[in-house]
Amino acid sequence: MSGKSYPLGATFVDGGVNFSVYSKNARKVELLLYDHIDDDQPARVVALDDKANLTRRYWHVFVPGIEAGQLYGYRAYGAFDPEVGDRFDPDKVLVDPYGKAVAVPEGYDRNDAISDGRNDRTAMKSVVVNLSEYDWEDDEPLQRAFSHTVIYEMHVGGFTRHPNSGVPEDHRGTFKGVIDKIPYLQQLGVTAVELLPVFQFDKQDAPGDRENYWGYSPISFFAPHWDYASGTHPTAAIDEFRDMVKALHKVGIEVILDVVYNHTCEGDGKGPTQSFKGLDNQVYYILNDDGQYMNYSGCGNTLNANASVVRRMIMDSLRYWVTEMHVDGFRFDLAAILTRDSKGRPMVSPPLLWDIETDPVLSGTKLIAEAWDAAGLYQVGSFFGDHWKEWNGRFRDDVRAFIRGDNDTVKSIAPRFLASPDLYGDDAREPERSINFVTSHDGFTVNDLVSYNHKHNYANGENNRDGHSHTLSWNCGVEGPTDDPAIEQLRNQQVKNLLTITLISLGVPMILMGDEVRRTQQGNNNAYCQDNEISWFDWSLVKKHGDVLRFVAGLIKLRLSLNMYQDNRGRTLQDMLRNATFNWHGVKLGEPDWSETSHTIAFELRGPSGIFMIIFNAYWEQLEFELPRLDGGLTWKRVVDTSLESPHDISSFDDAKTIYQPFYAARARSIVLLSASIAAISPNAYD
């Protein structure tokens, strides 16, 4: 039967399944049906006739009797003429761009999709899925306000893959493993997990015998990653992913996906033919006039995201993950690429971003842009639209430099604390536009940021050439691990300093998996191909660095439950900033030191909900800071002092120690947070 062009992918209809795939330039397309994942040839080949099965470049067919779990793929016939952009290879099994699940044989071999000859036995294959059978139990995306959000960037596999994770062995490194560790996430207090890519990716897209661990190498934009399922059924990853989302939602934790719509795992002209390249290379990728790949992603190719068909695919993918998988938001990898046209030129008004910005399905989701790309396009502070938030790379760099003790950093740290008004100006968007972080998957962990002066990436097999060299790190006196208690105490304090600024600054805080227990990657700042203990969460650190875990959990609780920057009438952070009073200080009241050699700044935030005094002393000696006088016999209370040992480094407001002196002695390289009732402030406090 001829079938229909819509919907794309494999869709159940009465008595069977409708298959539809797009190819503008193919001369012939075949649907391949397999009985087993590692079969040498398909059990059935359905030839699509260019008259009965082709409607305006959509190849489609209805196949009766197909059931859920059926394995399938495509062959596409056409010209192989790289100079004009055509790379058809009918020997290669092609994954359906709209397939909802992908099965991977044990003998999968990426090289077989590169070399001559057929690759049926070792190719990934799409799976027919019936999405209607899952019971969501009234679950819906949570739509939590950004002002009440604390993000935890984590890797599904690495979170529980370590043998000491304490989860059942068959759950390690899977969606089920995340469910097992939900009590830990609750203890920490985060409100959202931002998962490194969970779309099906090619593990073999890595140098030598290493594996692609991070997952920034997608082959499908609809299928959850096969290896993150504990079950072996071809559709297990879908249900287990949905179980994870539902379980996280039940405890109030949102799920944000790190999505890669800028390139695929097919690489450049020397890469494999696995899906898009074999279906219509000219349509899916940005090519130059000689048919070669434009590499704005740094990964060999660049998806032609603003081409109409590709744009529709991305939009359908986003809607799918919201409507069918109930995710709460997306972080867009190298999002600046999504502003480029088919020639690679940045556009002022890119169609794809307009589509995302105005789509009603996506209107309640979190949209976060990594507002740069690998070709130097940098749009932090100027990314398109009203709905987007941005990873603030300036926050990361300026905070690192200040805490390290660099000169000429005080002028930079002040705006970073206030949600970077120098970047975002008087934009009508709330200050939560800035996603604040000092570490992420890409770069040092916070422990390594205070333990290494230089990257140590030799295990990656690229002679330490990969990864950023501008780390803005400081080893506190010794490169790498040490038994020196003084250095360890200083490192602990610097870790707390970095995380304190992240978690109390205006904007949206994001912390990296394991930073709360000083997880190390042994100085590797580009561990994308290290699926081993270099990257995994070592759960023994929960006990070893329980003091840091307690401190971070306390900071998160303070931020969320005490609403430092909001009043009890529910006004937005923007309203609070308009109605608050900021007084900048140095060691003396009203005398901030903005000079190049200054390493200290303090400020007082006075608003309807209370008053706070925050002292940043990045200097290497103790300094005494004058405090505003208080009326009515009331005094300041010390909530945070990063120089103190646990449990004195952080307290609840009710349990905070009262400070009776008119000054506070801030120890070397420390951050202090004091609080008081606004009603207690003397109108003549600075006289």
Statement: residue 407 has pLDDT above 50: yes
Query: Exposed, middle or buried, 670 (CB in 10 Å: 0-12/13-18/19+)?
Result: buried
Statement: residue 562 has pLDDT above 90: no
Residues 75 and 93: beta-carbon distance below 8 Å: yes
Q: What's the pLDDT score for residue 147?
A: 86
**Pairwise CA distance, residues 29 & 346, whole Å:** 34
In a domain, 635, yes or no: yes
Last residue of a domain, one of 133, 148, 183: 133
- Tell me the two tokens of residue 209: 């015998």
Strand, coil or helix: 148: helix
pLDDT in tens, 347-373: 999 999 999 999 999 999 999 999 999
In a domain, 38, yes or no: yes
Provide, rounded to the nearest whole percent, the portion of the chain with pLDDT above 90: 86
**Mean pLDDT computed over every residue of the chain:** 93
Confidence of residue 635 (pLDDT cuts 50, 70, 90): confident
Exactly one of 153, 370, 432, 604 is catalytic; name it.
370
Statement: residue 386 has pLDDT above 70: yes
Backbone angles phi, psi at 345, to 5 degrees: -85, 135
Q: What's the pLDDT score for residue 238?
A: 97
In a domain, 597, yes or no: yes
Q: What's the pLDDT score for residue 563?
A: 55
The domain total for the chain is 2
Q: What's the pLDDT score for residue 565?
A: 53
Residue with tokens 């505003």: 628
DSSP secondary-structure letter at 656? P
Catalytic annotation on 333? yes
**Pairwise CA distance, residues 166 & 318, whole Å:** 34
In a domain, 94, yes or no: yes
Statement: residue 686 has pLDDT above 70: no
Confidence of residue 571 (pLDDT cuts 50, 70, 90): very low
Cis peptide before 7 (omega within 30 of 0): yes
In a domain, 673, yes or no: yes
**Pairwise CA distance, residues 113 & 101, whole Å:** 19
Rounded to an integer, the average pLDDT of 394-415 is 97
Q: What's the pLDDT score for residue 384?
A: 87
457: amino acid identity, one letter = N
Confidence of residue 431 (pLDDT cuts 50, 70, 90): low
**68-77, 374-383, 670-679: least confidently modelled range:** 670-679
pLDDT in tens, 108-142: 999 999 999 999 999 999 999 999 989 999 999 99
pLDDT in tens, 29-47: 999 999 999 999 999 999 9
**Pairwise CA distance, residues 385 & 560, whole Å:** 28
Rounded to an integer, the average pLDDT of 315-330 is 98
- Asked whether the whole model's pTM tops 0.85, one would answer yes
Q: What's the pLDDT score for residue 577?
A: 56
Please state the separation of Cα 629 from the chain's center in Å: 44
Residues 610 and 679: beta-carbon distance below 8 Å: no
pLDDT in tens, 187-237: 999 999 999 999 999 999 998 889 999 999 999 999 999 999 999 888 999
Domain that holds residue 615: 573-680
In a domain, 121, yes or no: yes
Last residue of a domain, one of 76, 99, 133: 133
Q: Which residues contact 433 (CB under 8 A, 6 or more apart)?
A: 388, 389, 390, 419, 424, 427, 507
Statement: residue 491 has pLDDT above 80: yes
Q: Report the alpha-carbon angle 459-460-464, nearest 5.
A: 85
User: Domain holding 577: CATH number?
Assistant: 2.60.40.1180
In a domain, 289, yes or no: no
User: Domain holding 26: CATH number?
Assistant: 2.60.40.10
What DSSP letter does each residue of 553-601 carry, written as one string?
A: HHHHHHHHHS-TT--TT---HHHHHHH-EEEEESSSTT----STT--EE
Please state the separation of Cα 286 from the chain's center in Å: 25
Exactly one of 333, 430, 432, 626 is catalytic; name it.
333
Last residue of a domain, one of 84, 114, 133: 133
**33-47, 75-89, 283-297, 423-437: least confidently modelled range:** 423-437
In a domain, 318, yes or no: no
Q: Which long-range contacts (CB under 8 A, 24 or more apart) does 54-57 make?
A: 55/4, 55/5, 56/5, 57/22, 57/23, 57/24
Confidence of residue 430 (pLDDT cuts 50, 70, 90): low
314, 180, 201, 295: which is closest to 244 by C-alpha? Answer: 180
**Pairwise CA distance, residues 605 & 295, whole Å:** 47
65: how many CB neighbours lie within 10 A of its CB?
Answer: 8
Statement: residue 564 has pLDDT above 90: no
Q: Which residues contact 618 (CB under 8 A, 6 or more apart)?
A: 402, 403, 404, 405, 409, 497, 599, 600, 669
Q: What's the pLDDT score for residue 687?
A: 43
Residues 344 and 307: beta-carbon distance below 8 Å: no
DSSP secondary-structure letter at 645? P
